[in-house]
Amino acid sequence: MSFSWLPHFHHKDIEILDISEIFKGYHFIHKYNIRYKMFQGGQSQIVQRELVVKPPFVAVLLFDPLLEKIVMVEQIRIGALGHGISPWLLEPVAGVIDAGETPLQAAARETMEESGCTLLDAILINQYFPSPGTSNEETFLYCGRIKAPESSTLQGVLAEDEDIKTHIIDLQDAFHLLESGKLSNAAAIIAIMWLKENKAKLQDLWNN
C-alpha cells in the first residue's frame, strides 16, 4: 500500500469575505461569500454558497454478538418524500448530539430513546460529513453492543414528534438487505458493510 494523502490546501488558503443568516427555522441557513486558492494557481473569483448549519450527529448500528442480530428503526424522513418506494426508511438509531454531550453519551441516550435497548459497549466505525457540499453536519457512526429484545416495539420521544418502530433482524438478513440494494440510508449502508468485514473480530472482543 503506497498511496497516502494529505490535503493540498488548508484553512489559511480560504478567505471568508462575508457570512449572513438567510433562514432560521428547524435548521439555519447561512450565505457565505468566499475566495480560495486554486490547484491551477492563483485565486478563485468570489464564490457564493449557502450552508445548512446543523449540530453534530450520532448514529449507532445495534448488534447482539451472541444472537447475531441487529436492531434497526423505521420512521418517516422528510428528505425521502420523493423516494420511489416510501419515505419510511430503515436506519440505525440516530440523533443530534446535544450541547455538553460527548458522541458516546448521545449514542447511549439515542439507543434508549429510539430502541428501548441499553448500550453495553460501542466502537467508533468512522466520523464523516454526509453532505459537505451543502451542510456542516458531521456524523459519528458507531457499532454498539446490546442484548437484542425478543420482539419489535414502538419507540420515540413524543415531544419531538418521533414515531418509531424497531426491527430485530438476523445478521444474514441484514447482509441480504445490503446486497440487494434495499437500504437507502447512508449510515446503515456504511455500518452494515463495516460489520460484515469486522464481525468475527468484534465477536471475539465482545463475547469474551
For the chain, what are the domain ranges? Answer: 11-53, 57-206
pLDDT tens figures, 63-120: 999 999 999 999 999 889 987 789 999 999 999 999 999 999 999 999 999 999 999 9
d(CA 101, CA 116): 20
Q: What is the pLDDT of residue 94?
A: 97
Q: For residues 165-188, give the mean pLDDT.
A: 96
4 or 157: which leads in pLDDT = 4
Q: What is the pLDDT of residue 39?
A: 96
Looking from the CA of 194 toward its CB, the CA atoms found within 13 Å total: 19
d(CA 189, CA 192): 5
d(CA 160, CA 83): 23
Cell numbers given for 127:
466520523
- Residue 159 confidence class, pLDDT cut points 50, 70, 90: confident
| Amino acid symbol at 58 | V
- Residue 157 confidence class, pLDDT cut points 50, 70, 90: confident
- Fold annotation for 57-206: Nucleoside Triphosphate Pyrophosphohydrolase (3.90.79)
Please list the active-site residues. Answer: 160
pLDDT tens figures, 7-16: 999 999 999 9
Chain mean position to CA 74:
15
| Amino acid symbol at 60 | V
pLDDT tens figures, 75-84: 999 889 987 7
Q: Is pLDDT above 90 for 146?
A: yes
What does 27-63 look like in DSSP terms, one character per residue? Answer: SEEEEEEEEEB-TTSSB---EEEEEEE---EEEEEEE
Query: Do residues 32 and 134 touch, judged by C-beta distance below 8 A?
Result: no
Nearest to 110 by CA among 190, 187, 206, 22: 187
Q: Is pLDDT above 80 for 176?
A: yes
What crossing angle do the helices spanning 171-179 and 186-206 adopt, rounded to 10°? 150
Radius of gyration (C-alpha) of the chain in whole angstroms: 20
Q: What is the pLDDT of residue 83?
A: 78
Cell numbers given for 42:
492563483
Looking from the CA of 201 toward its CB, the CA atoms found within 13 Å total: 7
For the beta carbon of residue 123, count every other beta carbon within 10 angstroms.
14
Place of cell 418502530: 165
- Residue 37 confidence class, pLDDT cut points 50, 70, 90: very high
For the beta carbon of residue 37, count every other beta carbon within 10 angstroms.
16
Please provide the average confidence, as pLDDT, over all residues in the chain: 95
Q: What is the pLDDT of residue 162?
A: 83
Q: For residues 155-167, give the mean pLDDT.
A: 86
Return phi, psi of residue 136, to 5°: -95, 5
Question: What share of the chain has pLDDT > 90, as a percent?
Answer: 88
pTM score above 0.85: yes
Q: What is the pLDDT of residue 208?
A: 74
